[in-house]
Amino acid sequence: MSRAARLLDLLQVFRRYRHPVSGAALAEELGVSLRTIYRDIDALKAQGAAIDGEAGVGFVLKPGFMLPPLMFSEDEIEALVLGSRWVAERADQPLGQAARNALAKIGAVLPPDLRAGLDESTLLVGPGAPLSAGESELPRIRDAIRRQRKLTIAYADVNGASTERVIWPIALAFFDRTRVIVAWCELRNDFRHFRADRVVSLNIETTIYPQRRAALMKQWRIKLGIPLRSRAGD
Amino acid sequence: MSRAARLLDLLQVFRRYRHPVSGAALAEELGVSLRTIYRDIDALKAQGAAIDGEAGVGFVLKPGFMLPPLMFSEDEIEALVLGSRWVAERADQPLGQAARNALAKIGAVLPPDLRAGLDESTLLVGPGAPLSAGESELPRIRDAIRRQRKLTIAYADVNGASTERVIWPIALAFFDRTRVIVAWCELRNDFRHFRADRVVSLNIETTIYPQRRAALMKQWRIKLGIPLRSRAGD
DNA sequence: CGGATGGTGACAGATTATGGCAGGAGTGGG
DNA sequence: CCCACTCCTGCCATAATCTGTCACCATCCG
């Protein structure tokens, strides 16, 4: 049996047992040495499996590795498809690809009658202006936001003069024609907004900025008087 | 990338494309040689995947599939949240609500660490122009499209002159500032686009229009020279 | 027919997987 | 405290595999 097959088997075994399983038991079940089991589990973890190993207990696959079946109303499906199409059309390439992947995954766990709605969806998104040259860095900007890393940018202001700044990026706002980075600016010691297309160069620092993003976000919202909005459930 | 990872990737690619994909395309997407793709597909088949290969056509993963898809990646969650926020901001009220509801359902099946990403998501959508008065009927228009019902509308053209028409609505296109109904117009006997904000009044007829929406859609796409787009990966 | 595409076999070289062993460290029970 | 059990890591030599390339055939389509 190939290793790839064994890894999938291993997942099935985990889904079968709900209780902790010892590595030795897995080794015997799969006909392979204990050392190999550890390596396989490493491999699965590397692919995002939430496998929990406790000394003296065993391994458990925490729920959430596989996508469970989902049920949506027709409106909800249309909303998801429309939103994903907009992302695919207007956001950066990796994010657009992610939108398509997400939709495909949802489609795979949808009951067949609803799945048709995914393909046939009748809500279209008009084409957007292509991202300008400077915006090829959007994926890295998103990465810096996510990991709360400082960013050194060369930024051309409205007059074309370029300044170099260290900023703490906390959000990325999508407008019809521009993308704007929301950040704390070390130069100004205040929140500032930077149009992504005016970012001339960009470097992600290794240092994490000294306040939590959520806290900064809250301050920013207060400063602008933006109520909590665009939340999942309100 | 390890082989096991690539096999899972391959499955996801198949889920994304719903149409036959050539081996060469897969090879390029996964950064591997064509021969290896054939070997990988063999491996997946050996594990029970129903992958159909036809000469001159390509490969398709038949929805009789296997393993449920993996959990969403961080990018995918961000894409879903961003898309839903856009819908909540720019589409009509019921659809926006549906977007939020869908997100809440997705949140319910997310493991805690990813769940946080859903709530804290840092991608924002700028406010859009509020829907104009005439667009309060968008939900009913969507309903007519979905159920393939004829629609009688009073439509103000660019000069303000109003005409009454019977149309067969097949899609609704979202632009930055306007929403446009794509329909077959009985008056003109051809496809026409109607700005939703110029629809003065609207009545959903009980009769289903005489051609299937999908067929009309195809004709419309051909007429406009729109390739199948907003689809996975092209 | 020609072009595109699926499918197979063979081979050499690169890469990876594997088992065994040694040792560390945390948990739970006596 | 000790002990049994377990997770976990590093190392290493050997075995297995994976991979790209090339050649060739089969099949479908216009």
- The pLDDT profile of chain A, 234 residues, written as one tens digit per residue, is 788 888 888 888 888 887 888 888 888 888 898 889 999 998 888 887 888 888 778 888 887 788 888 899 999 999 999 999 999 999 999 999 999 999 999 998 888 888 888 888 899 998 888 888 778 899 999 999 999 999 999 999 888 789 999 999 999 999 998 999 999 999 999 999 999 999 999 999 999 999 999 999 999 999 887 766 544 333
pLDDT confidence of residue A36? 92
- Burial (Cβ within 10 Å: 0-12, 13-18, ≥19) of residue A12: exposed
The b/e string for B145-155 (b: 16+ C-beta within 10 A; e otherwise) is bbebbbbebeb
pTM: 0.88
pLDDT confidence of residue B230? 35
The CATH code of the domain that includes B171 is: 2.30.30.100
**Tokens describing residue A181:** 């980075």
Instruction: Specify whether A79 is located in the same domain as A53.
Output: no
Q: What is the DSSP string of A12-23?
A: HHHHH--S-B-H
Instruction: Specify whether B151 is located in the same domain as B180.
Output: yes
Which residue reads 């795979």 in tokens?
A: A108
Give every residue of chain B whose pLDDT is below 70, as ranges. Answer: 64-66, 226-234
Residues linked to residue A151 through DSSP beta bridges, in sequence order: A167, A204
* CB spacing of A80 vs B76 below 8 angstroms: no
pLDDT confidence of residue A51? 85
Instruction: Specify whether A17 is located in the same domain as A89.
Output: no
User: E strand or H helix at B167, and its extent?
Assistant: strand B162-174
Per-residue model confidence as pLDDT tens digits over B32-78: 989 899 999 988 888 878 888 888 788 888 876 667 788 899 999 99
Asked if A22 CB < 7 A from strand D, the reply is: yes
pLDDT confidence of residue A197? 92
pLDDT confidence of residue B65? 67
Residue A81 belongs to domain spanning: 74-120
* CB spacing of A174 vs B123 below 8 angstroms: yes
Instruction: Specify whether B163 is located in the same domain as B220.
Output: yes
Q: Left if phi > 0, otherwise alpha if psi is -120 to 50, otherwise beta: which for B187?
A: alpha
Residue A106 lies in a domain: yes
Instruction: Specify whether A85 is located in the same domain as A141.
Output: no
**Tokens describing residue B40:** 């990988």
* CB spacing of B91 vs A109 below 8 angstroms: no
Instruction: Specify whether A165 is located in the same domain as A201.
Output: yes
Residue A101 lies in a domain: yes
Residues 32-51 of A with CB under 7 A from strand C: 32-33, 35-36, 39-40, 43
pLDDT confidence of residue A129? 83
List, in order, residues 6 or more apart from B173 with CB less than 8 Å away.
A123, A124, A125, A126, B179, B180, B181, B182, B193
d(CA A79, CA B127): 18
pLDDT confidence of residue A2? 80
pLDDT confidence of residue B66? 66
Residues B68, B69, B74: CA angle, nearest 5 degrees: 150
Q: Which chain B residue shows the shortest CA-CA distance from A75?
A: B98
How many cross-chain Cβ pairs, A to B, lie less than 8 Å apart? Answer: 246
How far is the CA of A106 from the CAs of A99, A114, B11, B62, in angstroms? Answer: 11, 10, 14, 16
Instruction: Specify whether A27 is located in the same domain as A79.
Output: no
Instruction: Specify whether B48 is located in the same domain as B78.
Output: no
Residue A68 lies in a domain: no
Nucleotide nearest to A57 (CA to C1'): D6
Residues linked to residue A171 through DSSP beta bridges, in sequence order: A182
CB A62 within 8 A of CB A100: no
Instruction: Specify whether A164 is located in the same domain as A200.
Output: yes
pLDDT confidence of residue A29? 85
Q: Which of B65, B79, B104 sits opposite A84 (nearest CB)?
A: B79
The CATH code of the domain that includes B24 is: 1.10.10.10
Long-range contacts of A15-20 (CB under 8 A, 24+ apart): A15/A61, A15/A66, A18/A60, A19/A58, A19/A60, A20/A54, A20/A57, A20/A58, A20/A59, A20/A60
Residue A26 lies in a domain: yes
- Show which of residues 75-134 on chain B sit within 8 Å of chain A, judged by CB atoms: 75-89, 91, 94-96, 98-107, 109-111, 114, 118-120, 122-126, 128
Closest CA to A83 of A104, A100, A68, A69: A100
pLDDT confidence of residue A228? 62
Residue A41 lies in a domain: yes
- Burial (Cβ within 10 Å: 0-12, 13-18, ≥19) of residue B111: middle
How many domains, in total, are found in chain A?
3
Closest CA to A123 of A93, A73, A90, A84: A84
Nucleotides of C under 7 A from a protein CB: 3-10, 16-22, 24-28
Please report the sign of the dihedral spanned by the C-alpha atoms of residue B147, residue B149, residue B152, residue B157. Answer: positive
Instruction: Specify whether A185 is located in the same domain as A216.
Output: yes
Q: Which chain A residue shows the shortest CA-CA distance from B13?
A: A101
Residues linked to residue A192 through DSSP beta bridges, in sequence order: A183
* CB spacing of B69 vs A66 below 8 angstroms: yes
Report residue A34 CA to chain centroid gap: 34
Please report the sign of the dihedral spanned by the C-alpha atoms of residue B82, residue B84, residue B86, residue B88. Answer: negative
* CB spacing of B79 vs A95 below 8 angstroms: yes
Taking the CA of residue B6 and the C1' sugar atom of nucleotide D21, their distance in angstroms comes to 21
Instruction: Specify whether B167 is located in the same domain as B202.
Output: yes
Q: Left if phi > 0, otherwise alpha if psi is -120 to 50, otherwise beta: which for A64?
A: left
Instruction: Specify whether B79 is located in the same domain as B46.
Output: no
Q: For residue A77, which residues of chain B lie inside 8 Å, CB to CB?
A: 102
**Tokens describing residue A67:** 């996508």
Please report the sign of the dihedral spanned by the C-alpha atoms of residue A32, residue A37, residue A40, residue A44. Answer: positive
**Tokens describing residue B189:** 């006997």
pLDDT confidence of residue A229? 54
Residue A128 lies in a domain: no
Q: Left if phi > 0, otherwise alpha if psi is -120 to 50, otherwise beta: which for A148?
A: left
Closest CA to B91 of B147, B174, B170: B174
Give the end of a domain, one of B36, B61, B86.
B61
Residue A230 lies in a domain: no
Residue B14 lies in a domain: yes
Asked if A188 CB < 7 A from strand D, the reply is: no
ipTM confidence:
0.86
Q: Which chain A residue shows the shortest CA-CA distance from B174?
A: A125
Taking the CA of residue B23 and the C1' sugar atom of nucleotide C5, their distance in angstroms comes to 8
Asked if B7 CB < 7 A from strand C, the reply is: no
**Tokens describing residue B206:** 């009980």
